[in-house]
Amino acid sequence: MVNALSRTVLAQSAFPQETRNPARNVKRAHSVPCSLFSLAFKPVSCARNSSLNLLPREIIADQHDWRLTMPAVKGDGMRGLAVFISDIRNCKSKEAELKRINKELANIRSKFKGDKTLDGYQKKKYVCKLLFIFLLGHDIDFGHMEAVNLLSSNKYTEKQIGYLFISILVNLNSDLIKLIIQSIKNDIQSRNPIHVNLALQCIANIGSRDMCEAFSQDLPKLLTSGDTVDSVKQSAALCLLRLFRTSCDVIQPNETASRIVHLLNDSHLGVVTAAASLIEALSKKWPEEFKGCVSLAISRLSRIVTSTYTDLQDYTYYFVPAPWLCVKLLRLLQNYPPPEEPANKTRLLECLEGILNRAQDAPKSKKVQHANAKNSVLFEAISLIIHMDSEPNLLVRACNQLGSFLSHRETNLRYLALESMCLLATSEFSHEAVKKHQETIIASLKTERDVSVRQRAIDLLYAMCDRTNAENIVAEMLTYLETADYSIREEMVLKVAILAEKYATDYTWYVDVILKLIRIAGDYVSEEVWYRVIQIVVNREDVQGYASKTVFEALQRPACHENMVKVGGYILGEFGNLIAGDQRSSPQIQFDLLHGKYHLCSVSTRCLLLSTYVKFCNLFPEIKQHIQNVFSSDHNLRNPDAELQQRAVEYLQLSKVASPDVLATILEEMPQFPEKESSLLSKLKKAKPQVEELENQVAEKKSRPAAVMRDLSATTTSKLVDLSDAVHTNGGGIGPGGDAFDIFASNGGETGIVGCNKAEALRLMLKPNGILYEDAIIQIGCKLQTKKNLARLGMFYGNKTNSAFTHFLVNAESPGELADQIVVQAKPVDPDVAAGAQFQQLINLVCLQDFSNQPIAHISFTYTSASGVPLNFNKTIYLPIYINKFFEPTDMAAEQFFSRWKTLSQPAQESQKVFPAKGPIDHESIKTKLLGLGAKVLENVDPNPENFVCAGIIHTQVLQIGTLVRLEPNRQAKMYRLTVRSNRETTAQQLCSLLAEQF
């Protein structure tokens, strides 16, 4: 909840106040002309932004005061390097620059090959030149061994440059990697803390799985050893955190877990800060092993909160004691339930009260850094109070404190206050306290200039709404809707419709609200909204007459939205007779009013109006002839739309042939709809998939304002695809020996679960919908919709037997390690399925990180065979979820494509296959398949017009994976060469293996 503010604060300074810019005290012998490259020659502690600060930015924020351990280097300016850089900068053309670089490369190559007596300084100088040439965008294919040799030097600057070269240029598949790992191990075992820090930074910068496997045992020992100095402990903790984030399965909790936890008691606050980051990440995966951190975190937090800023002078940031550490400890405590031990609980409550009290104190500084640091701690404390949800006094105090921010001049504070109050509104203890600020929130909705803050205000109004204030809030939201930003109108419409239905005591008010909603924002009223108002009117006799009168009056307005015509057509067709007694709304006037809109509407609306007209034939026989004339007009009987033409023909014959009794029976009033929960809620969750339903399974995210909706289990009525329209595809020659089946083998081998639809699932890799499984008993179809890292899979089940299914159950899951890569959540289904019936189920998915296996669904039910014997059906099927489903197309020009292609040239970033064609090589067929991949098929980019190139970004919650594809058909040899390049090795291999099976 407070990431936005706390990260802003923490990024401003990663060091204590008096050491925020230690680089300014470092004296360099020479000033290298290239300022970017000159960073490489500062000591590690003195170049916060250099390439050698190898840890992620948020991790660097944990480091404190390494200045004392890193020597200032004097008299080491490498004049030859400075001259070379100056020559490059003075080149007048690209050709001159390339000539100078080639000359220098030839010189360096001859020195490395011919001069066996190069000393460390000369090696360092030449390696630096190679680094600079590489940074200019040129390939370097030598000098790696010399860089590795620099690692064994005892001089700091030589070792530093060696590590810098390795971190940037050495490929993970290089033959030198074992030698590099051994050199790093030697430095880790060194007694010189500077060498150890350099080695740890290199490990963290590379951060590969090889590094995880090589050092996963050494780093915990180094971290918890009593002989390790504080600066090395900090580096070791952050390095271990980096490796854990890279390969969490390699690092396992062992006997060092309790010793890592006890680092929270370390006397050095820099070590405690780094350890808190590590423990916070580890405790999410292994909460039981690290539960001892709760009492220690509370103890440490208590000592910080009760201290003055002079007590922790080295770690005080603008009069706020250790704000980074406070935020981390508060976030760590949110990984566990409230402490049950009375002493810890009391101490924690005292800490939270102390933080709330300090927030009300007069500021000790007018600088924005002071306010940011203090507020970051406050918001994280409020987040913990909300997480505990057991202390009414603290919840109310937190609400009041946030309320004071609603009128603050700082936009970020207003945003965060509204967002936090949305969560407070869902608590029974603080709901009433939030309602006290209703007028302020409504005022901010009207006057706020920032659209994101206005959206949070809408979310808060939605969350705080109940029966006592529903009419007021809905009225204010309708007023704002007229001028609201277009980007949030659809969501506002859904929320107003949900609130109006949920808290309606008088359904005439509900009808008024929905009709006004259609009038104000008709373009944003989805089918679910007007479907729902019709269901409610049909099911409640007391509101039918009022709804007919109101919609009739709405249709008389000069400007009438098409959705209003749909609602009016349906309601008047069913209940128009209730207002026909009034001469102002006689049958002829009702018909003329609707038919006046007929030619302005879409085909689907005209089809609905034709159904209304035939209903009028039954309700109002006096205008039957006039309606038949409309049915028989050429515009309807010869309409190019088959659906509309068929309705006109059938309704005309029905009105002529059927007797009045038969007509009345066929066209009798629609029966009441089955009582069920509104589908609007599921529509809102589809529009905002980050609501709590999905986020509960993504532990690092906090629920958004829609948390109030958790008590409703909505069923959707939206249609994705019908089984009768499902696409049947051919197998495409996939055999059990293909590489693509390794995907399923690894999935099943890991969990003991094997699906029964391997081939069917693979056929849907490049298709959004189709048949997923079919036998004599059941047909299962699917349709997939994706947006960035979110997906919605519509599953369609058809009963092909003459008996009902009972105890129907679908359990969708991500087996094994896939649970950490993709979240799967299936809507519940009705346990009873009638014979011959079909129904749908929605499955929501969130891609957390790249994956190679597929989610599965267990389907079980009971049915009766043709011979009358009860039988059980129990199958496991693969869901057609592949990594390419989360592609976003990216358009590129030829120059941009090949520049990016060249950047992704390391062997680990490329996967290539040469394979025979399974069928004729047809240009259009290949293009269609590549379009189904999800990436952008780039035209006129490849010099060979027969080749295909694609570009796209695969979205996961953790990162975005840029991916390029190149397919080269050879018609003469009937072969393909497929090359996939990606900044993730596993992604390139996975896509290449899957795509090769499709051609």
- Which residues are documented as binding site? 79-80, 111, 121, 125-129
Containing H/E element for 37?
helix 35-38
- Cβ-contact 232, 222 below 8 angstroms: yes
In the numeric block, which tokens belong to residue 330?
């508060």
Neighbours of 870 (CB within 10 A): 10
**Residues 175, 244, 184: CA angle, nearest 5 degrees:** 40
Burial class (CB in 10 A: 0-12, 13-18, 19+), 34: middle
Closest CA to 900 of 957, 982, 997, 820: 982
Side by side, which strands form the sheet with 790-799? 769-774, 778-787, 790-799, 838-847, 822-826
As a whole number of angstroms, the distance between CA 697 and CA 692 comes to: 9
Strand partners, 878: 856
Measured over the CA atoms of residue 570, residue 572, residue 575 and residue 577, the dihedral's sign is negative
Strand partners, 862: 806, 872
As a whole number of angstroms, the distance between CA 328 and CA 277 comes to: 7
As a whole number of angstroms, the distance between CA 557 and CA 807 comes to: 52
Q: What is the DSSP letter of 828?
A: P
Neighbours of 215 (CB within 10 A): 24
As a whole number of angstroms, the distance between CA 790 and CA 686 comes to: 10
- Residue 665 makes CB contacts below 8 A (sequence gap 6+) with none
As a whole number of angstroms, the distance between CA 369 and CA 12 comes to: 8
As a whole number of angstroms, the distance between CA 6 and CA 58 comes to: 11
Closest CA to 210 of 163, 247, 183, 258: 247
Closest CA to 965 of 995, 940, 932: 995
As a whole number of angstroms, the distance between CA 493 and CA 840 comes to: 25
| DSSP string covering 653-664 | HHHHHS-HHHHH
As a whole number of angstroms, the distance between CA 333 and CA 325 comes to: 12
**Residues 107, 108, 111: CA angle, nearest 5 degrees:** 90
Place of tokens 């090889």: 210
Q: In Å, how far from its chain's centre is CA 76?
A: 48
Alpha helices in 576-679, H assignment, sequence order? 587-598, 603-619, 624-631, 634-637, 642-657, 660-666
- Cβ-contact 359, 394 below 8 angstroms: no
Strand partners, 824: 845
Closest CA to 555 of 509, 601, 524, 510: 601
Dihedral angle of Cα 158, 210, 230, 308, to the nearest 10 degrees: 120
- Cβ-contact 24, 70 below 8 angstroms: no
- Cβ-contact 831, 938 below 8 angstroms: no
Neighbours of 511 (CB within 10 A): 26
As a whole number of angstroms, the distance between CA 165 and CA 146 comes to: 10
Q: How many helices (H) and strands (E) does the chain have?
A: 43, 16
Given the DSSP bridges, would you call strands 856-864 and 790-799 parallel, antiparallel or unpaired? unpaired
